[in-house]
């Protein structure tokens, strides 16, 4: 069994982004800029936003944070997004989800210029992913693919099972595996014989949001297990959707929590923001 080290792979991605950013500054005088909008004071969101800010510093981007109060109205938020769409020094706009209940996150995402939608949540970018002709990929699924490539894990012809059908992870994850010729099954709360379906998987991706949901009987001997979950167990300790201790000995590869998929999400966000800066300035790689 080999651990897939997300910290290591994300450091490589960020190093690559940093070098390309230096080149962009030297050759074209352009510094990529990312605007992060956070509404309210959700503690998990605050941690993510701080991590994004640190990553921007590490790769040499400019970052702007807009921390809005909980009672911000839909009009105020959409007005800010419009302003950011028009700022030429901002290449990427990210609105931290979840938003407070009274705000319509769908309307906010649709208000972001698709060329600045570095989360790849806008319907235009989602459509491009379906067609396989995308500029940006959603950060978490793209991070998972980066890890598979980094460890030379082939997808073509493999049985791939994704547990979870969210728009942020499950669905795009399935599409990316399909684009690389995996045979993909998406499982969810209504799936019959879930354990049996999962136990057929050569590559199993758990994105269900339930602590230690994937148990050893659901994993095929020698499978690659990717844990996208970020949960707390009964003792309040950070864990994933996979029961790591009991599953690890059956796998050929497995991602830990923390230190697996998490760091990759932010590294991919940096990659997307750099790409956005190049596209908006008509600079080809």
Catalytic (active-site) positions = 52, 96, 119
**Cα(230)–Cα(161) distance, integer angstroms:** 19
Beta strand pairing status for 238-239 and 231-232?
antiparallel
Work out the angle between the directed axes of helices 43-59 and 6-28 (0-180°, nearest 10): 50
Q: Minimal CA–CA distance to 173: which of 208, 199, 197? A: 208
Task: Please count the residues of the chain.
Answer: 285
Enter the tokens of residue 188: 């969810």
Enter the tokens of residue 253: 């590869």
**Cα(105)–Cα(182) distance, integer angstroms:** 32
Q: Work out the burial of residue 3: count CB atoms within 10 Å of its CB; fewer than 13 is exposed, 13-18 middle, 19 or more buried.
A: middle
Bridge partners, residue 160, by sequence: 184, 203
């Amino acid at each position: 069994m080999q651990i897939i080290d997300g910290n290591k792979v994300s450091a490589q991605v960020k190093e690559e982004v940093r070098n390309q950013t230096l080149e962009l500054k030297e050759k074209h005088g352009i510094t990529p800029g990312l605007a992060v909008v956070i509404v309210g004071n959700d503690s998990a969101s605050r941690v993510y936003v701080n991590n994004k800010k640190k990553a921007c510093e590490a790769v040499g981007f400019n970052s702007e944070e807009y921390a809005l109060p909980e009672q911000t109205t839909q009009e105020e938020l959409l007005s800010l997004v419009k302003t950011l769409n028009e700022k030429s020094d901002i290449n990427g706009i990210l609105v931290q989800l979840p938003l407070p209940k009274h705000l319509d996150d769908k309307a906010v995402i649709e208000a972001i210029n698709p060329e600045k939608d570095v989360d790849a949540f806008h319907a235009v970018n989602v459509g491009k992913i379906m067609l396989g002709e995308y500029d940006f990929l959603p950060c978490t699924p793209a991070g998972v693919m980066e890890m598979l490539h980094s460890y030379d894990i082939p997808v073509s012809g493999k049985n791939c099972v994704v547990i979870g059908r969210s728009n942020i992870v499950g669905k795009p994850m399935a599409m990316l595996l399909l684009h690389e010729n995996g045979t993909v099954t998406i499982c969810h709360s209504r799936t019959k014989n879930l354990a049996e379906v999962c136990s057929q998987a050569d590559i199993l991706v758990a994105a269900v949001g339930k602590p230690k949901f994937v148990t050893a009987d659901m994993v095929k001997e020698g499978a690659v297990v990717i844990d996208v979950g970020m949960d707390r167990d009964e003792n309040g300790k950070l864990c994933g959707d996979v029961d790591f201790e009991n599953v690890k000995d059956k796998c050929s590869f497995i991602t830990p929590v923390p230190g697996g998929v998490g760091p990759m999400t932010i590294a991919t966000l940096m990659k997307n923001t750099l790409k956005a800066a190049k596209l908006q300035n008509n600079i080809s790689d």
